[in-house]
Copies of this chain bind each other. A is one copy, B any other.
Amino acid sequence: MTIPTMSVEFQRNGFNGVHSSAMPIVHKLSKDHDLVLKTFRLLIADLCQQFNGGHPGGAIGMAAIGVALWRYVMHYAPHTPGFFNRDRFVLSNGHTCLFQYSFLHLTGYKAMTFEQLKSYHSDRVDALCPGHPEIEHEGIEVTTGPLGQGIANAVGLAMATKNLAATYNRPGFDVVNNHTWCMIGDACLQEGVGLEAISLAGHFRLNNLTVIYDNNQITCDGSVDLTNTEDVNTKMRACGWDVIEVANGCFDIEAIVDALEQARSSKQKPTFINIKTVIGLDSSVAGTAVAHGAAFGAQSIRDMKTAYGFNPEHFVISESVRQFFQGIPERGEQWVQEWNQLVDNYAVQHPDLAAEFMARVRGELPANWQEYIPISFPDKPTATRASSGLVFNPIAKDINSFMVGTADLSPSVNMIWPGKVDFQHPELRTTCGINGNYSGRYIHYGVREHAMAAISNGLAAYSPNTIIPVTSTFFMFYLYAAPAVRMGALQHLQIIHVATHDSIGMGEDGPTHQPIELANLYRAMPNLLYIRPGDSEETAGAWIAAIGAKQTPSIISTSRQTLPQLAQTRRDGVAHGAYVLSEAESATVTLIGVGAELSFALEVAEQLKVQKGITARVVSFPCQRLFEKQSLGYKRTTLQRHRGIPAVVIEPFAPNGWERYADAGISVTRFGHSLPGKAAYKFFGYEIATLTTKVASYLERIQGDQLLRGEFVDL
């Protein structure tokens, strides 16, 4: 058995830039990788068997692909996992995580010891081998698992490279030129978010993106033919991708390497490599759905070992297999050093550009970013979607960190700054008159909300805070995007989602577009700021909070309709989540106002005084999550419920969760209605007179029925 060595029998070229001179491992592409592949397959089978669970089949089928990637093709540095210009690898079929973990171990990532590898599916709380790859761990670029997300993340990672390269590379100084490799299974070609991302990647002509399809034709339910009989290669070509097929994907490492390097040198298109494999190869359940999500059983693994000529009772990674992967960390460090040298020289030749670039690498914004935010706003009725543009567009214009996108609602979301340039392949100018280039930072995502958010996760995951993606659409359509918004929150990625048309006040579009229950999701979602500002001043506060939240995504939830500017609002109040808008010594009720309906609370307070002689204090409550971070003292001082003053919240959303802060609520618990904004408010009882009456009669009721004081009352 011949194990490829460090000898210089085979020199591959075909990629450009800093990496081209840095290939200390050159090698003979031997067809005889048998021992490595067999060892890898047994390793996976054993790790699953150890805990009698997990997903062995896919990882085993993909063994040869992994050897091609980690041993021969990918540029990375195991001892400098954060090497800025490394190739990015995304395991979109995240349940096959042992595939990645095992190669991280074999190629010398320090944290991924053999002991750690064995922690897969164990009780070990500090394990680096969770059931799906997690971004927190060395060598993992994005957290995957929910299918279709990874491929969209990969599109974002490739776009990040394109944008950074177009912005910072100069002749002789390709400071950013990495490739993105994405492994997928059948599911990622079925999930809508994957299909959206595929279409957009083809449009953007991301030739630095390669998707590797582990075509084993098996899903949980059985043969893919049960649910998918389409011609996938033709479909991918129709979407603007090059397609390469590899027939013998379980063994033919050379063909896979050829395909991968052909993909890396693609000039015009992303590449889809369709690799035929066998799930659970050589196990007793090879080629069947049973191989997907369960251990093979002790006897089956003993039989595999015997057939492979291994000791059936014992398993080791042999020294020759270790040798096969030797030298990879050193190769990586050489690339790191060459890149560092390149950047040093770049700093000499292009000092200003290099300074900005290195700040981006460190994830820093210009120190003066807050100075862009207007100190005050015109005192005229303004929709907060317009306020949002007033606050953010000057920042977006000047600070390259922000990449701003929309799911085909540019006219509605007000995110366009003067002179904005679209992120587009420059040749689209010739072929279809579309202006833009890869240094552009305005992204037309098309009507693809889910991919917009998932791609943004990829943009943000490229390197911490190097790119701060901004997305925008109607608030209701963040339900389409929700799985990806969640993945951003889970991964501690700073992404700013700008939502407009955020209440029944958006009007005629009706119940399909009027959010009633969506805020409940986002207020409950961990590590996410859902902020509903009430006027321009609060919108400034919302943006300050969102830009300041370096490890947390935000949703800034704005109105379609104009809102009055309120004298009492304060941007620093937003930072506290809730704050007193209007205090009153002898108040008998606190009115909580939120977002587009904040002014209603102030008006109701006034009418209560005028009409009923009732004194009300008013609290603005733009963000529950930020309020939760405040001290108990601040919370009590703000709400005053501990002094027995009941609080009534006014918000035309489902009330669930407001019970924590209020004793009663004027909420909406049915779907919306297609009516012009004002008429919709009237229809749902949000006219000042109606609101005033409801609050007053509630105050009467609780005087007569003390029991009600302990129960949340829907008014």
Interface residues of A (CB under 8 A from B): 51, 53-54, 94-95, 121-123, 125, 127, 130-132, 134, 143-148, 186-187, 190-196, 199-200, 202-203, 219-223, 225-232, 234-235, 237-240, 289, 293, 406, 408-412, 422, 424, 428, 431-434, 444-451, 476-477, 479-480, 482-483, 486-487, 489-490, 507-513, 516-518, 520-521, 523-527, 636, 641-642, 654-657, 659-660, 669-671, 673-676, 679, 683, 707, 710-712
Contacts and interface: CB of A to CB of B under 8 A. Distances in A.
A675 B53 CA distance: 12
A511 B490 contact: yes
B196 A127 contact: no
11 contacts: A121-B676, A143-B512, A187-B408, A192-B192, A192-B194, A221-B408, A227-B445, A232-B238, A525-B654, A526-B654, A636-B707
A512 B669 contact: no
Query: Top 6 A-B pairs ranked by shortest CB distance?
Result: A192-B192, A130-B674, A227-B446, A145-B512, A656-B657, A659-B659
B230 A240 contact: yes
Most chain B CB within a 10 A radius of its CB, from A145, A187, A230: A230
Given A520-B656, A674-B130, A145 B513 contact: yes
A197 to B, nearest CB: 9
A196 B192 contact: yes
Nearest to A202: B230
B196 A190 contact: yes
Given A234-B234, A513-B145, A641 B710 contact: yes
Nearest to A436: B226
B428 A191 contact: no
Query: How many copies of the chain does the oligomer comprise?
Result: 2
Contacts of A94: 512
A520 B510 contact: no
Contact of A203 (B220, B229, B428, B490): B229
B131 A192 contact: no
Given A196-B191, A228-B446, A641-B710, A293 B411 contact: yes
Contact of A125 (B51, B125, B683): B683
A642 B234 contact: no
Contact of A447 (B144, B219, B511, B518): B219
Contact of A238 (B203, B234, B673): B234
Given A144-B512, A192-B193, A221-B406, 18 more contacts: A125-B679, A131-B507, A131-B508, A132-B512, A146-B512, A148-B192, A221-B409, A223-B432, A227-B444, A229-B428, A479-B482, A479-B483, A518-B521, A520-B524, A525-B654, A526-B654, A656-B656, A659-B659
B526 A446 contact: no
A202 B227 contact: no
B654 A192 contact: no
Most chain B CB within a 10 A radius of its CB, from A186, A228, A432: A228
B229 A240 contact: yes
Contact of A510 (B132, B191, B432, B656): B132
A503 to B, nearest CB: 15
B202 A229 contact: yes
B659 A477 contact: no
Nearest to A512: B145
A264 to B, nearest CB: 23
A446 B512 contact: no
A527 B408 contact: no
A281 B124 CA distance: 66
B654 A191 contact: no
A57 to B, nearest CB: 13
A147 B238 contact: no
Contacts of A433: 223, 225
B220 A121 contact: no
A642 B705 CA distance: 11
A601 B479 CA distance: 33
A492 B221 CA distance: 31
A384 to B, nearest CB: 20
A715 to B, nearest CB: 14
B240 A237 contact: no
Nearest to A450: B192
Nearest to A234: B238
Contacts of A674: 127, 130-132, 134
Contacts of A146: 476-477, 480, 512-513
Contacts of A660: 655-656, 659, 711-712
B508 A121 contact: yes
B527 A671 contact: yes
Nearest to A127: B674
Nearest to A54: B508
A526 B670 contact: yes
Contacts of A707: 636, 642
Nearest to A624: B656
B187 A203 contact: no
Contact of A516 (B444, B526, B676): B526
Given A512-B94, A670-B527, A199 B220 contact: no
Contact of A523 (B193, B445, B656): B656
Given A192-B191, A508-B121, A220 B411 contact: yes
B517 A526 contact: yes
Contacts of A479: 482-483, 486
B408 A446 contact: no
Given A132-B510, A238-B232, A711 B225 contact: no
Nearest to A435: B226
A172 B53 CA distance: 54
Nearest to A409: B220
A562 B604 CA distance: 53
A427 B524 CA distance: 48
Contacts of A148: 192, 447
A187 B317 CA distance: 52
Contacts of A487: 512
Contacts of A192: 148, 191-196, 448, 450-451, 480
Most chain B CB within a 10 A radius of its CB, from A122, A147, A656: A656
A416 B434 CA distance: 51
A238 B240 contact: no
A656 B642 CA distance: 20
A499 to B, nearest CB: 14
A398 B597 CA distance: 52
